[in-house]
Amino acid sequence: MIIQEHVALQSFNTFGINSTAEYLIRVKNKDDIHHAREFAQSKNLENWILGGGSNLLFVQENQPGLCIKSELLGKKIISETSSHILLEAAGGENWHEFVEFCVQKNWGGIENLSLIPGLVGASPMQNIGAYGVELKDVFHSLDAFHFPTGEIHTFSKADCGFGYRESVFKRKYTGQYLIMAVRFQLEKFPRTNTRYGAIEQTLLEMNIANPTIQDVSKAVIKIRSEKLPNPSIVGNAGSFFKNPVISIEYFEKLKKEFTQIPSFSTNSPDQVKIPAAWLIEYTGWKGYRKGNVGCHPKQALVLVNYGNAIGRDILELSHEIKVSVKSTFDIELETEVNIR
């Protein structure tokens, strides 16, 4: 097992920010993870996990401690019934490739989550979601390595404390666990979900009247490809901010002044979700550029690195956007991207 020192991380994050890990280890199995834990303890180092680097902004030039790069691979069927299949995927599997695998098998439930960057292990951490579907909708359980004790713990859906782009792994257990495997409950006779966003319109443009999950996946890929910049061309981490959730009472007050402000329903009858992109665009940030950083001209939620930006430049721009939205709407934008 090779532990590298002073490793450049620019190619390990989709923002393309240059930062250096004090130590880095690539883990491919349980023994590697135990070895990483022992090494960190022997040198009194902090552990930190690096997945696909697609929801991460490095603001420190040097990253202290041991960076553990998850490269755990594998997929297997745990059980199946006449209607459902319980499928396990290792945490280091590429998320989009995993979705494509399931779609090709006609196992439904995650097709709306096509083309989301990152690894399977990060999907429950963020409770990833798009186009009316969230990870928690198909989640069954996961296994995670607990660094303080060296034990492997199993988490049910209830244990994960899923919320909007939230889980216990982002707050309560920050840095304590490496997610080794995730299990998904998928449908053998899938029903499509096309109500959210531009899916229905895109399917019409594709001349598809009775879509399959394969069609829905293709539509989502088309939408995301046209709207979001390719990180290999323009550095970005997708949506930088969460969509804020506010009370219906405050929304009605806002609507009197901002008559075009849109909203989406939530699980709570007393709250609505406001598209952060609309708030950012209204306040004039869409397409803004300053030096090597900017707000993407096609999607206001995406902050971009046009060249050799440093993380602090992007963080500063995000702060300016937050202040502007707060001043205009008295709504606090919350960052979705993890800052390190």
- What per-residue confidence (pLDDT) applies to 291? 94
The CATH class of the 3-70 domain is alpha beta
Active site residue 123: no
Share of the chain above pLDDT 90, in %: 91
Q: For residues 144 and 123, what is the distance between their CA atoms, to the nearest angstrom?
A: 13
Query: 257: Cβ–Cβ under 8 A, 6 or more apart, which residues?
Result: none
Active site residue 26: no
pLDDT in tens, 131-173: 989 999 999 999 999 999 999 999 999 999 999 889 999 889 9
Cα torsion angle, 113, 119, 121, 126, sign: negative
Active site residue 239: yes
> What is the band of 313 on the pLDDT scale with cuts at 50, 70, 90?
very high
Q: For residues 212 and 105, what is the distance between their CA atoms, to the nearest angstrom?
A: 12
> What is the band of 83 on the pLDDT scale with cuts at 50, 70, 90?
very high
- What per-residue confidence (pLDDT) applies to 272? 94
The pTM of the full predicted model, rounded to 2 decimals, is 0.89
- Contact between 15 and 314 under an 8 Å Cβ cutoff? The reply is yes
Average pLDDT over residues 101-130: 96
Q: Is the pLDDT of residue 72 over 90?
A: yes
> What is the band of 35 on the pLDDT scale with cuts at 50, 70, 90?
very high
pLDDT in tens, 216-268: 999 999 999 988 898 989 999 999 999 999 999 999 999 999 999 999 888 88
> What is the band of 180 on the pLDDT scale with cuts at 50, 70, 90?
very high
Q: For residues 334 and 273, what is the distance between their CA atoms, to the nearest angstrom?
A: 13
**In whole angstroms, what separates CA 110 from the centre of its chain?**
14
- What per-residue confidence (pLDDT) applies to 86? 98
- Contact between 125 and 167 under an 8 Å Cβ cutoff? The reply is yes
Average pLDDT over residues 53-74: 96
Q: For residues 110 and 190, what is the distance between their CA atoms, to the nearest angstrom?
A: 10
- What per-residue confidence (pLDDT) applies to 195? 86
Average pLDDT, the chain: 95
The one catalytic residue among 88, 111, 134, 336: 336
Average pLDDT over residues 196-221: 93
Q: For residues 116 and 94, what is the distance between their CA atoms, to the nearest angstrom?
A: 10
Token pair for 191: 């029903």
CATH of domain 75-187: 3.30.465.10
- What per-residue confidence (pLDDT) applies to 193? 93
> What is the band of 212 on the pLDDT scale with cuts at 50, 70, 90?
very high
The one catalytic residue among 70, 123, 239, 263: 239
Return phi, psi of residue 160, to 5°.
-80, -15
Share of the chain above pLDDT 70, in %: 100
- What per-residue confidence (pLDDT) applies to 266? 87
The residue behind tokens 């001209």 is 297
Q: For residues 274 and 280, what is the distance between their CA atoms, to the nearest angstrom?
A: 11
The one catalytic residue among 37, 165, 183, 224: 165
Nearest in space to 315 (alpha carbons), one of 113, 116, 60: 60
- What per-residue confidence (pLDDT) applies to 197? 74
Domain boundaries, the chain: 3-70, 75-187, 235-339
- What per-residue confidence (pLDDT) applies to 148? 95
Yes or no: is domain 235-339 CATH 3.40.50.150? no
- What's the burial of 233, exposed, middle or buried (CB within 10 Å: 0-12/13-18/19+)? exposed
**In whole angstroms, what separates CA 175 from the centre of its chain?**
17
Token pair for 28: 């491919």
Average pLDDT over residues 263-286: 94
- What per-residue confidence (pLDDT) applies to 122? 94
Give the CB-side neighbour count of residue 321, counting CA atoms within 13 A.
33
The residue behind tokens 């420190």 is 60
